[in-house]
Amino acid sequence: MTTNKPVRIAFQGALGAYSHEACLQARPDALPVPCTTFEGVLRAVREGRADLAMLPVENTTYGRVADIHRLLPESGMHIIDEAFVRVRIALMAKPGVTLNQIKHVRAHLVLLPQARAYLEANGITSEPAADSAGAAEELAAGGPAHEGVLASAVAARIHGLEVLIDGIEDLEHNTTRFLLMAPDIDLTRRGDKMMTTFVFEVRNIPAALYKAMGGFATNGVNMTKLESYMVGGSFTATQFYADIEGHPDDPAVQRALEELGYFTNMLEILGVYPAHPGRWDIPA
């Protein structure tokens, strides 16, 4: 008799990180595999310690996540799904500690500015930690009694801390987009609305990028993201990362990608996946 093993998803951070929350949203029954770095997440899949990888790509408050766009094309992996996690920041402490006893908190360097207004209004000082969920784990394991941590409520639940106040983030639309990646590409149409992500490098001819983008405009294909990044340490070798609405089999997308091919040295599809409803829930 054979049993189905749970899918293992690698993510960066400790248990309770927002990346872990994205895993729970995308695959509730999956087994989480915490990793220290983004490179470690990808390595866990390549070495067979995980089946899928969950990586953050952008946040509505602080923009794109550093290094991710460089790592994606080099990873040899493909996007199969996306998740949008509303970043709700909770202030947590050891059981029995009250909110008015908290005068100092720790959290990831990126998270602290997102709750600056609350911290300043309440005279709470802060210091950066390598990881917010990791800071919660450290506090639970023996941190100062009257120190707090800013992290997700999931982290508090996992590490046995108490949420003293939730939702202290400055901006209500604070949301992070994550990509779920697998070793093999899945080109099947798995939803009513599909997304296609690809990278390309334009040829060294005048107005190449302008001409390359023209096919999407004339064919009515909505491009939701276009970003450039340098490769190989050169100012002249520039690649572009793009997200478009639609499936490569859609006639309009087919025509647009074919026209793009005329003006590129390289064009690689990183993934075809269902559009998450959350992308339309974020205020403009």
- Tens of pLDDT, residue by residue over 208-239, are 888 889 999 999 999 999 988 776 666 655 78
Q: Is residue 187 part of a domain?
A: no
Q: Is residue 221 part of a domain?
A: yes
Domain with residue 21: its CATH number is: 3.40.190.10
Q: Is residue 262 part of a domain?
A: yes
Q: What is the pLDDT of residues 91-117, one digit of tens each?
A: 999 999 999 999 999 999 989 999 999
Same domain as 39, residue 178: yes
pLDDT for 195 beyond 80: yes
Same domain as 47, residue 101: no
pLDDT for 69 beyond 80: no
Q: Is residue 2 part of a domain?
A: no
One DSSP character per residue, 225-255 reads EEEEEE-TT-SS-EEEEEEEES-TTSHHHHH
Same domain as 82, residue 106: no
pLDDT for 200 beyond 90: yes
Cα→Cα distances 15→24, 154, 164, Å: 11, 8, 20
pLDDT of residue 190: 93
pLDDT of residue 101: 95
| Exposure letters 221-243 (e unless 16+ CB within 10 A, then b) | beeeeeeeeeeeeeeeeebbbbb
72: enclosing H helix or E strand: helix 68-74
Q: Is residue 72 part of a domain?
A: yes
pLDDT of residue 1: 45
pLDDT of residue 269: 95
Q: Is residue 133 part of a domain?
A: yes
Mean pLDDT, the chain, whole residue set: 91
Q: What is the pLDDT of residues 231-269, one digit of tens each?
A: 666 665 578 999 999 999 999 999 999 999 998 989 999
Same domain as 113, residue 16: no
Q: What is the pLDDT of residues 27-38, one digit of tens each?
A: 999 999 999 999
Same domain as 38, residue 135: no
Number of domains in the chain: 3
Boundaries of domain holding 158: 90-166
Q: What is the pLDDT of residues 144-169, one digit of tens each?
A: 888 999 999 999 999 999 999 999 99
pLDDT of residue 280: 66
Same domain as 128, residue 82: no
